[in-house]
A and B are shown apart, each in its own frame.
Chain A
Amino acid sequence: MMKWSDVLKFGLWMGPLLWGIGFIAPTMSAVLEIAGYPPRLSPSAAELSLVFGAVWGAYARWRGSWL
């Protein structure tokens, strides 16, 4: 059975990915909207940002660096 401490450790290990989805995505979406990203375009600014944030977060997790 999984312990709470294991869940916590996994959550910390996933930190960059969670940050990519939790912060980078909504921030990028807001920036795109201000920059005039067409509202009816597919993918939408939110969808595009979510993918970008998740990929960047996964990259940071894998490489150990955001850069």
Chain B
Amino acid sequence: MTVVRLAGAGPLAEDGDRVLAREELAIARRFVGGVPWIIVVWGLGNFFVWLSLWPLVLMGVLPLWLACPIAILCTTICYLPSHEAQHSNIAAPGARLRWLNELVGYVSTVPLVLPFKLARLTHMEHHSHTNDPALDPDYGAKAPNWIGAIVASIANRQPRAMGAYQRTAEHIGGEVGRRAILEALITTKFHYFVLCAVAWVGYPLEALLIWWLPRQFALTYVQVLLSWAPHHPMIETGRYRDTRAWRFPLGNLFALGMEYHIVHHLHPAIPITRNRAAYLALRHVLLQRNCRIEGR
């Protein structure tokens, strides 16, 4: 854990700093541990709901106009279970249920077509270098306001935009980076191939409204809510200043739990379902640390 030494602080201030750090850790530990089964059910269940839309629509059981908003919902909420798996919050390496952690990681984001290996690799870099223009793979989300964040998200998906995630994986290099890029390449191109094949065999609108459109909407929503909003305006680095607690006009549920993202950056092992409780317990420490508590 990084312990920040205040400028001009003497031995007494340093002792106080350590006490505060210990208190923060002790509180955080209360929210860590156990298998967050709700995340597992959420990740796998949501995937199966999305998957079931295909046969239901193709067999005429479910109208396409109804399947589309369900697909949008499924695709928008599918990232978070994978995010927990990226942090090994379902099961750590070597644990008995490690396979479940990896299964949730890979399967939950199929609707979003987010390659797990690359997502995990780049997300760890995001945590290590939050708001660093050169090293944070999510820095491309930087924008002056909501509209700008939406525009940036769409612009970053255009053919000329070299993916920040690919750039990060190349920077990391080695076998790990190479495998992540290869997996991402195969996954995304296979996705496009499947969409084209489904369209050419006679179901273009189904492909459009169950997969392509929901994915575009979800990518924008997730990038704005997860990459932009909690770190806006992305001008500060440092453990206690790079992420904020904030208030979304539509509430924490529609913010995908990101109102308390500051807790996640300080203690990634706390599952998202416990972030709010952890925030409330940690709030006095965060205030003493001069954290960005905005509107809460």
A11, chain B: closest CB distance, angstroms: 8
Do B159 and A22 have beta carbons less than 8 Å apart? no
B187, chain A: closest CB distance, angstroms: 14
Chain A residues closer than 8 Å to B159, beta-carbon distance: 15-16, 60-61, 64-66
* Assembled-state Cα–Cα distance A64/B158 (Å): 7
Is B20 in contact with chain A by the CB < 8 A criterion?
no
12 pairs of residues in contact across A and B, judged by CB atoms under 8 Å: A18-B192, A23-B195, A23-B204, A23-B207, A26-B199, A27-B199, A27-B204, A29-B204, A31-B205, A61-B159, A65-B158, A65-B159
* Assembled-state Cα–Cα distance A66/B155 (Å): 10
> Interface residues of B toward A: which range?
10 to 19
Do B205 and A67 have beta carbons less than 8 Å apart? no
Contacts from B to A (Cβ < 8 Å): 154-155, 158-161, 189, 192, 195-196, 199-200, 204-205, 207-208, 212
Further contacts, 8 of them, CB under 8 A, given A23-B196, A65-B155: A19-B196, A22-B200, A23-B207, A23-B212, A27-B208, A63-B160, A64-B158, A65-B160
* Assembled-state Cα–Cα distance A4/B200 (Å): 26
Is A55 in contact with chain B by the CB < 8 A criterion?
no
Which residues in chain A, 51-67, are within 8 Å of chain B measured between CB atoms?
Answer: 60-61, 63-67
* Assembled-state Cα–Cα distance A63/B195 (Å): 23
Residue total for A at the interface (Cβ-Cβ under 8 A): 20
Chain A residues closer than 8 Å to B208, beta-carbon distance: 27
Is A30 in contact with chain B by the CB < 8 A criterion?
yes
Contacts from A to B (Cβ < 8 Å): 12, 15-16, 18-19, 22-23, 26-27, 29-31, 34, 60-61, 63-67
Do B207 and A66 have beta carbons less than 8 Å apart? no
A30 in contact with B205 given A19-B196, A22-B200, A23-B196 (CB within 8 Å) = yes
Can you name the residue of chain A whose Cβ is closest to the Cβ of B193? A22
Chain A residues closer than 8 Å to B158, beta-carbon distance: 60, 64-67
A64 in contact with B204 given A19-B192, A19-B196, A23-B199 (CB within 8 Å) = no
Chain B residues closer than 8 Å to A34, beta-carbon distance: 205
Chain B residues closer than 8 Å to A61, beta-carbon distance: 159
Can you name the residue of chain B whose Cβ is closest to the Cβ of A34? B205
